Amino acid sequence: MLKKINLGCGPVGKEDWINVDWGILAVLHKNPLLEKMFLKLGFLPKRYDRKWPENLMLHDLKKKLPFNDLDADFVYISHVLEHFKKYEAERIIQECFRIMKKGASIRVVVPDLKLLAIKYVQGDIEYYKKIDELTGDEQEKKTGKDFLLADVLMDTFYPNFYRVKFLGFKKFMIRFIRPHCWMYDFESMRYLLEKAGFKNIKKEAFGKGNVPDIDKLDVFPEMSLYIEAEK
How would residue 145 be classed by pLDDT, with cut points 50, 70 and 90?
A: low
Q: Cβ–Cβ contacts within 10 Å for residue 199, how many?
A: 9
Model pLDDT for residues 9-23, shown as the tens digit of each residue: 999 999 999 999 998
pLDDT exceeds 80 at position 81: yes
Task: Give domain 4-112+181-230's CATH superfamily.
Answer: Vaccinia Virus protein VP39 (3.40.50.150)
Task: Choose the weakest-confidence range: 71-80, 124-133, 144-153, 219-228.
Answer: 144-153
Cβ atoms 22, 52 nearer than 8 A? no
Task: List, in order, residues 6 or more apart from 198 with CB less than 8 Å away.
Answer: 93, 97, 106, 229, 230, 231
Segments of the chain assigned E as strands:
4-7, 18-21, 57-58, 72-78, 100-111, 199-204, 224-230
Confidence of residue 41 (pLDDT cuts 50, 70, 90): low
- Domain ranges across the chain: 4-112+181-230, 114-176
- Average pLDDT for 1-12: 94
First CA to last CA distance, the chain: 19
Beta bridge partners of residue 69, listed in sequence order = none
